[in-house]
Amino acid sequence: MSNTERTFIAIKPDGVQRGLVGDIIKRFEQRGFRLVAMKMIQASEDHVKQHYIDLKDMPFYGGLCAFMHSGPVVAMIWEGLNVVKNGRLMLGETNPADSKPGSIRGDFCITLGRTIIHGSDSLDSANKEIALWFKPEEMVEYKSCQNGSCMSK
């Protein structure tokens, strides 16, 4: 049985501004995940509020939405075996102080309010977030060349 799935990953404004986009993409590629869609976007306040709607009753909601609206975000869809769970492991803990070295937050973050990256926490949230950030025509289907399957004869 295949556990190939898709997840939503967003590099937050602090990750973009610090020039970490390439390093983060490289980690997902090296892990063997396939990039299906990517775009840089300055998300509207309403868009960000919709993205974090499940946190609307939390005291940090307003600040989080303001921060996510403050600069460009790199939104991505990654595909692969258990990518939701593995992607979250790659990100590290929400609090960077609790993140292990080798995780994205463990290597690049020090402050809870600036965690540089967002990743879907479940398959359901991944599907909702993908639909919120991407239109179906923005996703690209292609064969991986890793096994020579796309080489011409």
Q: Given 47, 51, 69, 118, which residue is catalytic?
A: 118
Tell me, yes or no, if 69 is annotated catalytic: no
User: 86-96 burial string, b = 16+ CB within 10 Å, else e?
Assistant: bbbebbbbeeb
SS3 category, 10: strand
- Helices and strands, number each (H, E), in the chain: 7, 4
CB atoms within 10 A of CB 39: 12
Q: What's the rounded Cα separation, in Å, for the pair 23 and 36?
A: 18
CA-based torsion, 152, 36, 78, 94: positive or negative: positive
Residues designated as active site: 118
